[in-house]
Amino acid sequence: MSVRTLPLLFLNLGGEMLYILDQRLRAQNIPGDKARKVLNDIISTMFNRKFMEELFKPQELYSKKALRTVYERLAHASIMKLNQASMDKLYDLMTMAFKYQVLLCPRPKDVLLVTFNHLDTIKGFIRDSPTILQQVDETLRQLTEIYGGLSAGEFQLIRQTLLIFFQDLHIRVSMFLKDKVQNNNGRFVLPVSGPVPWGTEVPGLIRMFNNKGEEVKRIEFKHGGNYVPAPKEGSFELYGDRVLKLGTNIVNQPVETHVSGSSKNLASWTQESIAPNPLAKEELNFLARLMGGMEIKKPSGPEPGFRLNLFTTDEEEEQAALTRPEELSYEVINIQATQDQQRSEELARIMGEFEITEQPRLSTSKGDDLLAMMDEL
How buried is 358 (Cβ within 10 angstroms: 0-12 exposed, 13-18 middle, 19+ buried)? Answer: exposed
For 199, phi and psi rounded to 5 degrees? 90, 0
How buried is 339 (Cβ within 10 angstroms: 0-12 exposed, 13-18 middle, 19+ buried)? Answer: exposed
Question: What is the model's pLDDT at position 307?
Answer: 75
> What is d(CA 87, CA 75) in angstroms, rounded to the nearest whole number?
8
> What is d(CA 127, CA 142) in angstroms, rounded to the nearest whole number?
20
**Mind listing the pLDDT tens digit for each residue in 123-143?**
999 988 999 999 999 999 999
Please report how many Cα atoms fall inside a 13 Å half-sphere around the Cα of residue 25, on the Cβ side.
22
Find out whether 122 and 43 touch, Cβ atoms under 8 Å. yes
Find out whether 304 and 243 touch, Cβ atoms under 8 Å. no
Find out whether 164 and 102 touch, Cβ atoms under 8 Å. no
Bridge partners, residue 81, by sequence: 307
Question: What is the model's pLDDT at position 348?
Answer: 56
Question: What is the model's pLDDT at position 160?
Answer: 96
Question: What is the model's pLDDT at position 294?
Answer: 61
Q: Which positions of the chain have pLDDT values less than 70?
A: 251-304, 317, 321, 324-377
Q: Please give the radius of gyration of the chain, using alpha carbons only, rounded to the nearest integer.
A: 22
Question: What is the model's pLDDT at position 275?
Answer: 45
Question: What is the model's pLDDT at position 364?
Answer: 37
**Mind listing the pLDDT tens digit for each residue in 161-183?**
999 999 988 999 988 999 999 99
Question: What is the model's pLDDT at position 288?
Answer: 60
> What is d(CA 282, CA 345) in angstroms, rounded to the nearest whole number?
15
Question: What is the model's pLDDT at position 325?
Answer: 62
